[in-house]
Structure formats: structure tokens, C-alpha cells
Amino acid sequence: MKFFGRPGQPMARKSKRDIPAGLWTKCEACGQLLYNKALEENLKVCPKCEFHFPLSAPERLRLLIDDGTFEEWDAELSPSDPLQFHGPKAYAEKLKEDQQTCRMHDACLTGTGKLDGHQVVVGLTDSRFMMGSMGSVMGEKLTRAIERATQTRRPLIVVSGSGGGARMHEGLFSLMQMAKTSTALMRLDEAGGLFLSVLTHPTMAGILASFASLGDLIIAEPKALIGFTGPRVIEQTIRQKLPEGFQRSEFLLDHGLIDLIVHRRDMKTTLSRLLADLTHS
């Protein structure tokens, strides 16, 4: 091998083999570098610190609902652009991009299916689609699902993984959905219905301030970020250091905001047991 070239010529170097993109993910909790295939086999849970990465709505559906039993509702509903909103990117353009990426019309999936044989109504939000923010379509789909659960007397399960809160691009049309979903849940409660709310990382802002915090039982995955405003914003506002673990599932369980913390691998069996104990079907 030649170590030196002629004067003025660059030294020969052996090119490094590039690591293919998309093979590794860094855990946001502990910093561990995780092989994606192994991470998926572990249900997207970090094997070192047990941090639960967000799941898409279809992934969550496969974990909870029995194969071949899911019937989707209102799949054709798609958001409009009532305000003709323009920010760094036009709202209509952003919607089109996320619809193509996520293969969903909006950030919510609703329908009915069986969970370990229990017939349930289910709603799932998806943080990939505009941070899982709630616009008019998500609010309408969830409200219709709640109303059908009330009419059919089926238990309702909503899995929230929304870090975007109410979708500002739709203004009051979005904020109205907080009251609409909450009112529908009040009617479900008055009719004696059962609502199990599952909070995942992250569940924030208008989502938590409406339907996500109104469950008869509120269950969370470990180490999920759950709150109204993020901890950094709170610290900057009150100019104080927040307690360790503030707004994480474990902190909220200690302070009474949630009822249970359940590992992802145990979620289906736990929900099945709760359904058996709390219903007479």
C-alpha cells in the first residue's frame, strides 16, 4: 500500500462504507442506539430503559383488536381548510403530505371489533399525522364513535397519542371538538356506558383537557409524557425547576391523575380483564 503520494497530491484514502439509513433509532429517554428490527420485535419498547415509543394507529389496532374483527367507521371523512390557513406551509398542502405519508385521511381511526372476544368500540389517535392534533374530523369521528357506543351499549376504548392538542389551523372549528367530545361522553356516562381511556406518549394539551381525561378508568403506558403544556414551557413561565419526572406517567399515578400504568405487552390482557370485571356481557 502506498502511504505517500507525490508532492502536492492528496493521500489515498479507503472510502468508508456508509451505514444504511433507517436501520437504527436512538432512544429519546436513555440515548441507547437501537436496531430497528429488534425494536419492532420488542413492540417498540426500549430494552434498556423500557421507554415506549409511539405507535401508529394501525400498529396499535393490531396489538389490541382480534384479527379479522375490526370494522372501520367513517373512513371517508377528510378535513377541509375553512380558514384558508397559511403559515410556513399552507394547511391544505400539509394535509396532503400527511395523508400520503400516513395513508390516513386524518389523525384518528375509529370502529368496532373484538378484544379477546369482547365486542368494543375503539378510537385511536396517531401522532404521525400533524402530531395527532384534533381538528374537526377527529372530533366528529370520535363523537360518532361515542354515540354508537351509547346506542349499542358496547364498552368504549380510546387510545390517545396526540402531542398537538387542538389544531390551530382550523381555529374555533377545532376548539369546538373539545366540548363536543366531552358532551358525548357525558351522555355515555348518563346511559351507564363504560369508557376506558388509554394514554400513550405523548398525550398533551386539548386532547388531555377533553376526552382523554374523562375515562371511568384512565390507563397509561410507562414513562409517557402527559400534560397540558410541556415542562420546558412551564419552567420558562414560572421560572422554577419542576420536580423530577414531572408529567410522566409515574408522577401522575402518584398524584392521582391516572389509575393504572400498564406495559405495552400487557395492555390487551389488562383491558380484557377490566372488561370482564366491569361488564356483564
Average pLDDT score over residue span 243-271: 90
Average pLDDT score over residue span 195-224: 92
- Say what percent of the chain tops pLDDT 70: 92
Cell of 44: 417498540
Alpha helices in the chain (DSSP H): 36-41, 57-64, 91-102, 136-152, 172-190, 205-208, 231-238, 249-254, 267-278
> What rounded mean pLDDT belongs to the chain?
87
Confidence at residue 71, expressed as pLDDT on a 0 to 100 scale: 95
Cα–Cα dist 45/25, whole Å: 11
One-letter amino acid for residue 242 of the chain:
L
> Which of helix, strand or coil describes residue 212?
helix
Cell of 156: 368504549
Q: How many domains does the chain have?
A: 1
For residue 4, name the pLDDT band (cuts at 50, 70, 90).
very low
pLDDT 10s digits, 131-145: 888 889 999 999 999
Q: How many angstroms separate the Cα of 144 from the Cα of each of 121, 156, 195, 200, 229?
A: 11, 12, 14, 22, 28
pLDDT 10s digits, 37-51: 989 888 888 988 888
Beta bridge partners of 199: 160, 220
Q: What are the residues whose beta carbons fall under 8 Å from the beta carbon of 28, sequence distance 6 or more?
A: 51
What's 239's domain CATH number?
Answer: 3.90.226.10
- Hunting for cell 394501525 — which residue is that? 58
pTM of the model: 0.84
Cα–Cα dist 153/120, whole Å: 9
Q: Is the pLDDT of residue 11 over 70?
A: no
Q: Is residue 205 part of a domain?
A: yes
Output 239 or 281, whichever has higher pLDDT: 239
Confidence at residue 183, expressed as pLDDT on a 0 to 100 scale: 96
Q: Is residue 191 part of a domain?
A: yes
For residue 9, name the pLDDT band (cuts at 50, 70, 90).
low
Q: Is residue 2 part of a domain?
A: no
Confidence at residue 20, expressed as pLDDT on a 0 to 100 scale: 59
For residue 280, name the pLDDT band (cuts at 50, 70, 90).
low
Q: Is residue 240 part of a domain?
A: yes
For the chain, give percent helix, strand, coil, nearest 5. 35, 20, 45
Cα–Cα dist 54/198, whole Å: 13
> Which of helix, strand or coil describes residue 205?
helix
Pick from 217, 231, 226, 236: nearest CA to 277 = 217
Residue 263 structural domain: 56-278
Cα–Cα dist 86/96, whole Å: 14
Q: What are the residues whose beta carbons fall under 8 Å from the beta carbon of 224, sequence distance 6 or more?
A: 52, 199, 200, 201, 202, 203, 248, 249
pLDDT 10s digits, 22-35: 789 888 888 889 88
CB 183 within 8 A of CB 210: no
For residue 7, name the pLDDT band (cuts at 50, 70, 90).
low
Confidence at residue 8, expressed as pLDDT on a 0 to 100 scale: 56
Q: Is the pLDDT of residue 163 over 60?
A: yes
Q: Is residue 72 part of a domain?
A: yes
Burial of 92 (0-12, 13-18, 19+ CB in 10 A): middle
Confidence at residue 18, expressed as pLDDT on a 0 to 100 scale: 53
Q: Is residue 192 part of a domain?
A: yes
pLDDT 10s digits, 186-198: 999 999 999 999 9
Q: Is residue 75 part of a domain?
A: yes
Instruction: State residue 195 phi and psi, 5-degree precision.
Output: -130, 120
Cell of 95: 394535509
Cell of 191: 346511559
Q: What are the residues whose beta carbons fall under 8 Å from the beta carbon of 63, sequence distance 6 or more?
A: 43, 55, 264, 267, 268
Average pLDDT score over residue span 151-161: 95
